[in-house]
Structure formats: C-alpha cells, structure tokens
C-alpha cells in the first residue's frame, strides 16, 4: 500500500474517476493551467486536456450554475472552490438549485455534481476565508456533505461522491493537504453515510469530523498515557447522511460522550449529534454530553489568537476530563 498525502489522495481519486468515466470533468478557478491554487489538480490538464479540465472565470455563482446545468444533462462535474467560504456568493445555485431539482422535478432530473475545496480556519487568512459551512449545507434535505480527515478517506469519499447521483459537497482542509497516510493502490470507495471508529476505547466516546478527528486522536493518546483513560474516537466522515448507529453503538459502550468540531458552536454539527444521543441513548448516558468547538467569534486574524480559537489538543483533553468526572 502506498503512503501518499491527502492532496495526492484527492488527485488520485479524480484521476481514476476521469479515466473510469468520460463524463467526469474538473472545473474551477486555476484548476487547469495553474495546476490548482493548492495544487490538488496538478498534472491533470496535461493528462486529460482542456475539454476535461476547465479553468473558469472568478465567478462562483456563474461557474457553479454552469456545473449544475451540465450535471442535469448527464455530465459529472467536479467543481473546485478555492475556499468553501466563496460558496456564499453561489448559495442560490448550491442550495436552491442543486439541492432541490430532483425533488421539484418529481425525480426526473438528477444533479450528480460534486463541489470540493478547503473549508477550514487556522491558516491566518481572515474571517471571510475561514468558513466551515458543513452544518449550514447539511441542514438542507437533498444535499450530501462529507468531511474527510485522512488520505484514505479523502480518496474513498471523493470517488463515492463522484459516483453518487445527488449533489455531494466535499469539505477539505488545507492544513491536512500534506498529511500522509496509507492508501490502497486498487480501486475502492468509502460509502457516504458510514462513520469510522478511528480508535477503539471503553471509557469515553469522542465524536469528531475533519481535522478535529486528528486533534481528538492526539488527545486520546494523552488521555491514555497521562490519565489512564481509554478513549474511542468516532470519525463521522459524512455529515449527511449521518451514521447514527455507529455513534449510538459507541455511546452504549462508553456511556460518556465528547463532541469535537472546528465549526462554531451555535447550530453546529455537534448540536445535532448531541440531540441524537440524548434522544436515542438517554438511558445510556452516565454524564452530560460536552462539546469542544471553535470559539464563537468571527475567525480571528491574529495567528496566535486563531490557534486558540480552534479546538486544540489541550482543550480536548481538559474537556474530556470534565466528561469523565
């Protein structure tokens, strides 16, 4: 099994799907000639040519609309957003059109579009470039949202997204692009809506997604070494569809839950997960559910302060010990 980066895993997913299905096209700002703003699409123009790898104007509303229209006619576009923060100018396309067309056409029209790109804070790019809209988008029926945390999941989820017949929005993380991990050489997908137990444990369940999974795994190490606590880390991978059963099975085992996400807390993904746990596993809970999320303020520009704003290992350890009290 090859050890490759998260960025290379995403590229491999697109490359394999471009080869497998000639309806797959890549579109976005700087994806072709510049090899991608974050070099995720590097080399694809050279290999697949300008009909499959298409540079677009700096107009998200325009090119996302183009992609949605193309997908309704049988193309399977993979659209890159330089930042998911820019999706806000294309919100009507992303939510209203892509999310509703299958329902409003009575199932006659599919919209197999994939929109991908980084959605994260922590890189000192300011409040307008650091949004994490997975909760906002997942609140719309008709839309699927995934947040891979590892190279393996990045490749498997992106391939599953491309093959899915509904709009799937893949939220990546620029801080993870250089993380390396084992990725199989053979074809595989990670099904949408299936969470993954990244670490098994018996005393506490941490539910996380995206980079918060990596933070939580590090916190779990410390909790085990320094506090003798056995922590299970559940990686949601898909925000919607949500794998309720894996979350509940873990809580039924450990009876305590800590939810970690890099989203802002208000109406975050974990607000929904907390509701799920208390409604379906109330009698299993031995302590109140706690959450660790980004501090509830516009993304702070000062790098040192922004580092504090995001959930870090220390904060996860501290909060875990509170749940375990």
Partner 1 sequence: MAEIIDMPKLSDTMSVGTLVKWNIKEGQTVAFGDILGEVETDKATMELSCTVPGTILKIYAPAGSQLPVGAPICAIGKKGEAAPEPSAAPAPKAPATAVPAIPEKAEVSCVPAAPASSGSVAAQSDASRAKASPYAKRMAEKAALNVAALAGSGPGGRVVGRDVAAAASAPAVAAPSGPINVAVAPPADGKGIQPDADVPVGGMRQTIARRLLESKVTVPHFYLEVEVDAAPLMAMRESLNKRLAEAGADAIKLSVNDFILKASAEALRRVPAVNASWAGTSIRTHGAVHLSFGVALEDGLVTPVIRDAHAKTLKDIAVEAKSLIGKARSKKLTPNEMSGSTFTVTNLGMYGVTGFFGIINVPNAAILSVGATIKKPVVDAQDRLVIGHRMVIGLSGDHRVVDGANGAQFLQALKQLLEEPALMLI
Q: Which of 30, 129, 140, 224 is catalytic?
A: 129
318 in contact with partner 1 (CB under 8 A): no
146 beta partners: 170, 238
> Of 79 and 281, which has the nearer Cβ to partner 1?
281
DSSP β-ladder status, 238-240 and 231-235: unpaired
Count of residues that interact with partner 1, criterion CB under 8 A: 8
> Of 73 and 325, which has the nearer Cβ to partner 1?
325
Query: Tokens representing 178?
Result: 């250089």
Select the span of 2-10, 225-233, 279-287, 307-315 touching partner 1 (CB under 8 A): 279-287
Q: Which of 17, 29, 60, 306 is catalytic?
A: 60
Select the span of 42-50, 63-71, 227-235, 285-293 touching partner 1 (CB under 8 A): 285-293
Going residue by residue from 27 to 56, which x/- string records binding to partner 1, judged by CB under 8 A?
Answer: ------------------------------
Residue in 251, 182, 159, 175 with CA at minimum distance from that of residue 213:
175
284 in contact with partner 1 (CB under 8 A): yes
> Of 303 and 318, which has the nearer Cβ to partner 1?
318
CB of 291 to partner 1, least distance (A): 17
> Of 107 and 279, which has the nearer Cβ to partner 1?
279
129 is an active site residue: yes
d(CA 195, CA 151): 15
Select the span of 78-86, 231-239, 282-290, 295-303 touching partner 1 (CB under 8 A): 282-290
Give the one residue of 73, 107, 186, 325 binding partner 1; rule: CB under 8 A.
Answer: 325
Render 67-131 in DSSP notation, one character per residue: HHHHHHTT-EEEEEPS-GGGGGGGHIIIIIIHHHHHHHTTTS-----EEEEE----SS--GGG--
Give the one residue of 57, 186, 282, 304 binding partner 1; rule: CB under 8 A.
Answer: 282
Order of strands across the sheet that contains 204-208:
196-199, 231-235, 204-208, 257-260, 290-292
Query: Tokens representing 215?
Result: 């933070």
Give the one residue of 222, 271, 287, 321 binding partner 1; rule: CB under 8 A.
Answer: 287
285 in contact with partner 1 (CB under 8 A): yes
Going residue by residue from 196 to 235, which x/- string records binding to partner 1, judged by CB under 8 A?
Answer: ----------------------------------------
Q: Cβ distance 45 to 33 under 8 Å?
A: yes
280 in contact with partner 1 (CB under 8 A): no
> Of 199 and 255, which has the nearer Cβ to partner 1?
255
d(CA 307, CA 80): 26
Query: Tokens representing 170?
Result: 């893949």
283 in contact with partner 1 (CB under 8 A): yes
Alpha helices by DSSP H, listed for 113-268, are: 134-138, 151-163, 211-227, 244-254
Q: Is the dihedral of CA 252, 254, 256, 260 positive or negative?
A: negative
Cis-peptide, bond into residue 66, ω within 30° of zero: no
Give the one residue of 255, 272, 280, 308 binding partner 1; rule: CB under 8 A.
Answer: 255
d(CA 171, CA 169): 6
60 is an active site residue: yes
Q: Which residues are catalytic?
A: 60, 129
Residues that bind partner 1 (CB under 8 A): 255, 282-287, 325
């Amino acid at each position: 099994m090859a050890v490759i980066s998260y960025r290379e895993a995403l590229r491999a997913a697109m490359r394999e799907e471009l080869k497998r299905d000639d309806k797959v096209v890549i579109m976005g700002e700087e994806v072709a000639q510049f090899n991608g703003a974050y070099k995720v699409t590097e080399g694809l123009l050279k290999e697949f040519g300008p009909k499959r790898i298409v540079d677009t104007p700096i107009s998200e509303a325009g090119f996302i609309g183009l992609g949605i229209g193309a997908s309704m006619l049988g193309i399977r576009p993979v659209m890159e957003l330089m930042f998911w923060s820019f999706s806000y100018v294309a919100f009507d396309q992303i939510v209203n059109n892509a999310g509703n067309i299958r329902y409003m056409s009575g199932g006659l029209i599919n919209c197999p579009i994939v929109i991908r790109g980084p959605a994260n804070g922590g890189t000192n790019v300011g409040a307008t470039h650091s949004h994490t809209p997975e909760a906002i988008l997942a609140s719309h029926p008709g839309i699927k949202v995934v947040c891979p945390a590892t190279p393996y999941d990045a490749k498997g989820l992106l391939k599953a997204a491309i093959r899915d017949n509904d709009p799937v929005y893949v939220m990546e993380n620029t801080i993870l692009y250089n993380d390396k991990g084992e990725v199989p050489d053979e074809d595989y997908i990670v099904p949408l809506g299936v969470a993954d137990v990244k670490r098994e444990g018996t005393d506490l369940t941490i539910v996380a997604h995206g980079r918060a999974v990596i933070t939580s795994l590090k916190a779990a190490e410390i909790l085990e070494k320094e506090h003798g606590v056995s922590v299970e880390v559940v990686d949601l991978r898909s925000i919607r569809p949500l794998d309720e059963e894996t979350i509940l099975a873990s809580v039924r085992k450990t009876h305590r839950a800590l939810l970690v996400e890099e989203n802002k807390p208000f109406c975050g993904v974990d607000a929904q997960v907390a509701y799920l746990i208390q409604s379906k596993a109330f009698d299993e809970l031995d302590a109140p559910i706690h959450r660790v999320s980004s501090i509830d303020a516009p993304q702070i520009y000062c790098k040192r302060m922004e580092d504090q704003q995001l959930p870090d290992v220390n904060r996860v350890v501290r909060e875990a010990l509170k749940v375990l009290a």
